[in-house]
Amino acid sequence: MTTELSQIKKRFGTFEALKTISLSIEKGEFIAILGPSGCGKTTLLRLLAGFEEPTAGHIAIDGDHVSSAKKTTPPEKRNIGMVFQSFALWPHLSVQEQVEFPLRHHPHTRKDWKKNYQGRALDVLKLVGLEQLAKRMPNELSGGQRQRVALARALAHQPAILLMDEPLSSLDAELRVDMRKEIQRLHRLTNSSIVYVTHDQEEALAMADRIVIMKDGQIEQVGTPQHIYLYPETPFVARFVGKATMVDGRWEGNRFRPDAAPTLSWDGEGVSEVFKQADTYPVRPDQWLFSREQTGMEATVVNAMYQGRERHYAVEVGGEVIHAISPATEQYKIGEKVSLKMRQAEKQTKAHTG
Ligand SMILES: Nc1ncnc2c1ncn2[C@@H]1O[C@H](COP(=O)(O)OP(=O)(O)OP(=O)(O)O)[C@@H](O)[C@H]1O
């Protein structure tokens, strides 16, 4: 069964926080909602959870009509689990009791689990590797352990959909990467769909089956991580996900000729019509090819950062500063004049000449 959001609008007073959102989430699918601060991600999640009512439209979770402007099922009656940034564990309950609580009280808990809630709670704690800490209280746990308890509590009754709002943002960088893997593992082991709100594109690209990119209360693009990264459909998505620069130039069918070096042209197969109509080409930092021979777009290095495997540069082209990445083996100094081409253009040339 899918979860459906149909024509959802949400207004706070005169402010339209969500403007006609429609989205279908498959059973077991991992959806990341990605967008900048204030674009409406949390509002969308709160509507799914039942903390807010839509101004228009309706929501069905696993076939249950839970939300419309007329009628809303409260959060505790929805077949959902929730994990928030703050973990929100109950301070007076032990680890085991945190997980038992929803099993005993949630209306969607399977009958056999409700009866044997202690056994099921232990099984779920084993799943997240916390069975040894079942008797501990929340204040006796590390941040990562607390987040595991929050996950176990949310997953215990096997909700149709697990809602997660920036669940890793209060953990340090290393733990965040570990917990990403943990969430992916748990997702594989359960049948729950996941809706995961984040403003971290790396997290969304790494974890989701599909990413929903939001801007100003609307969906900009929906697609697999690879599709969104390689084939952005709007300048906003190209900049936000791919950190792309919009290069001005002319399109001749599927070939692009940059204004800054009109003798150069490169292939634009698959580039969205939106860019063609705007006479631009979105180039990601990793797509630039540096050279000292003046055969491409003239540029001056204004900043350089060594990053181990690669070097990140800020370079000025025609008065605009853009970001470009080179392999660490290539080194350019601040102030140095370089020449930039699209990586793909080089491949094309090789293919034509080779
Ligand atoms: N209860 C409310 N009353 C009025 N405006 C609200 C309310 N809740 C949210 N908003 C507004 O709706 C917009 C979307 O807010 P929301 O919290 O959904 O954004 P977000 O994408 O989750 O942002 P962030 O990443 O900063 O959490 C914001 O402009 C916010 O100020």
For residues 74 and 219, membership in a common domain is answered with: yes
Residue nearest atom 17 of ligand 1, based on CA coordinates: 42
104 contact partners, CB below 8 Å, separation of at least 6: 114, 117
Instruction: Please give the model's pTM, rounded to 2 decimal places.
Output: 0.89
Q: What per-residue confidence (pLDDT) applies to 87?
A: 65
| 111: in domain | yes
Give how far the C-alpha of residue 254 lies from the chain's centroid of Cα atoms, to the nearest Å: 30
The per-residue pLDDT for 88 is: 81
**Together in a domain, 12 and 80:** yes
Quick check: CB of 12 below 6 Å from ligand 1? yes
**Cα Rg of the chain, angstroms:** 24
- Residue to mutate, 16, 39, 86, ligand 1, most ligand atoms under 8 Å from C-beta: 39
Residue with CA closest to ligand 1 atom 3: 12
Report if residue 322 sits inside a domain: yes
CATH number of the domain that residue 153 is part of: 3.40.50.300
Give the pLDDT of residue 247.
Answer: 94
Tell me what ipTM this predicted complex has: 0.96
What is the 216 CA–ligand 1 centroid distance (Å)? 10
**Would you say residue 12 lies in a domain?**
yes
- How far is it, in rounded angstroms, from Cα 171 to Cα 285? 28
pLDDT in tens, the chain (354 residues): 699 999 999 999 999 999 999 999 999 999 999 999 999 999 999 999 999 999 999 999 988 899 987 888 999 899 999 988 776 889 999 999 999 998 998 888 888 888 999 999 999 998 888 899 999 999 999 888 898 899 899 989 889 999 999 988 877 888 888 888 889 988 988 878 999 999 999 999 999 999 999 999 999 999 999 999 999 999 999 999 999 999 999 999 999 999 988 889 999 988 999 999 999 999 999 999 999 988 889 999 999 999 999 999 999 998 889 999 999 999 999 999 999 999 865 444 444 433
Contact 251, 276 (CB under 8 A): yes
Residue 238 lies in a domain: no
Residue 159 lies in a domain: yes
Is residue 76 domain-shared with residue 100, that is, in the same domain?
A: yes
Q: Residue 146 burial (CB < 10 Å; 0-12/13-18/19+)?
A: buried
When divided into structural domains, the chain yields a total of: 2
| Statement to judge: residues 113 and 211 lie in one domain | yes
Co-location of 19 and 95 in the same domain: yes
Are residues 255 and 190 located together in one domain of the fold?
Answer: no
The answer to whether residues 219 and 71 belong to one domain is yes
Q: Atom 6 (ligand 1): residue with closest C-alpha?
A: 12
- Identify the residue whose C-alpha is closest to ligand 1 atom 25: 37
d(CA 303, CA 192): 46
How far does residue 42's CA lie from ligand 1's centre (Å)?
7
Question: Residue 1: its pLDDT value, please?
Answer: 67
Contact 100, 121 (CB under 8 A): yes
**Under a CB-based contact definition with an 8 Å cutoff, are residues 160 and 80 in contact?**
yes
- Find the 346 Cα to ligand 1 centroid distance in Å: 45
Task: State whether the beta carbon of 14 lies less than 6 angstroms from ligand 1.
Answer: no
Q: What is the CATH number of the domain that holds 280?
A: 2.40.50.140
Final residue of a structural domain among 198, 229, 260 = 229
**Structural domain that includes position 211:** 3-229
In this structure, are 264 and 205 located in the same domain? no
* Distance between CA atoms of residues 262 and 277, nearest Å: 18
- Ligand 1 near 43 CB (within 6 A): yes
User: Is 247 in the same domain as 206?
Assistant: no
Specify the pLDDT at position 164.
94
State the distance from the centre of ligand 1 to the C-alpha of 43, rounded, in angstroms: 6
Ligand 1 centroid, distance to 254 Cα (angstroms): 40
Domain assignment present for 235 = no
Instruction: Determine if ligand 1 sits within 6 Å of the CB of residue 46.
Output: no
Residue after which a domain boundary falls, among 181, 207, 229: 229
41 and 176: one domain?
yes
Point out the ligand 1 atom lying closest to the alpha carbon of residue 39: 21
Q: How many CB atoms lie within 10 A of CB 202?
A: 12
What's the rounded Cα separation, in Å, for the pair 263 and 295? 9
Residue with the two structure tokens 């943002």: 169
Same structural domain for residues 124 and 269?
no
Ligand 1 center from residue 164 Cα (angstroms):
16
| DSSP one-letter code for 306 | E
Q: Is residue 269 located within the same domain as residue 311?
A: yes
Domain boundary at 188, 205, 229, which? Answer: 229
199 C-beta closer than 6 A to ligand 1? yes
In a domain, 332, yes or no: yes
Q: Is residue 236 part of a domain?
A: no
**Spatial separation of the C-alpha atoms in residues 153 and 261, rounded to whole Å:** 58
